[in-house]
Amino acid sequence: MIEGAEFQLVLLHPYQLLPQQLPLHRRKSDNTWESYIVANDGLLRATLNPDDTDAEEFPKFTYQGNRELKEILNPWFVILNAGIKFDRFRDNYGLDTLPSSMAKIAQQTLEIVDLIYKPITPSKKYIEARESPKKRGANYSEEGGVGMGRQLRSAKGKGTDRAGDLGEEDAGTSGFPSKKGRLSAQPHEISYLFTLFLA
């Protein structure tokens, strides 16, 4: 979780949100209120005059409250959600129809989303290790992975059924005790099962 993340309000359709110069009221830290309308440049500004394009823009804000950290809005989810909206807006209208500052935020958000979903390219060293199992060491087995080679060799070297090692009860095909009186799983199969569960 990212603490202290700053959020920026981006209006994709400002005149649908605030038609006919309706104001948006924001409570400030000193418990006073400030009114914002959509100015003629398409930005939300602290003014009641749409021609006043020099008025202060709606500021960035951070979450302030007493919720536990796990209950605070996750910035990554906000980015992913905003990315969906910006991508749809870009396809239908184009980001160049937004004010330049808002278009920049939208573009940066889409770039972050692309990085989040970008497939991870394996390193050359990793690829070589996968293609050359022997490089992993003497204990590597293609059947079971690292550590299996030693176990398989040890089990195969004993050659015969090892039901007695599991106690008086015999085991079924899964390698676990059963009531049939015989252990049908071979030693290398037992080693493989044990390795799976230990992993």
Q: Is the dihedral of CA 180, 186, 187, 191 positive or negative?
A: negative
Say how many C-beta atoms besides its own lie within 10 A of residue 109's C-beta: 21
112 pLDDT band (50/70/90 cuts)? very high
Q: Do 128 and 89 share a structural domain? A: no
| 47 is a domain residue | yes
Tell me the pLDDT tens digit for each residue of 39-65: 999 999 999 999 999 999 999 988 777
As for how many domains the chain has, the answer is: 2
Domain check: are 133 and 91 in the same one?
Answer: no
Same domain, yes or no: 140 and 188: yes
The pLDDT value given to residue 198: 40
User: Is the pLDDT confidence value at 182 over 90?
Assistant: no
Same domain, yes or no: 15 and 101: yes
- Does some domain include residue 1? no
Same domain, 105 and 17: yes
Q: Of 72, 95, 117, which one is at a domain's C-terminal end?
A: 117
Has residue 43 been placed in a domain?
A: yes
For 128-170, the pLDDT digits (tens) are: 887 776 555 545 444 444 444 444 444 444 444 444 444 444 4
pLDDT reported for residue 135? 52
Is the pLDDT reported for residue 34 higher than 80? yes
The average pLDDT across 94-118 equals: 94
Residue 100 identity (one-letter amino acid): S
User: Same domain for 10 and 107?
Assistant: yes
In a shared domain, residues 16 and 72: yes
Average pLDDT of the residues of the chain: 74
Give the whole-angstrom CA distance, residue 52 versus residue 187: 84
26 within domain boundaries: yes
State the residue range of the domain holding 72: 6-117
Q: Is the model more confident about 160 or about 126?
A: 126
Task: Say whether both 90 and 132 belong to one domain.
Answer: no
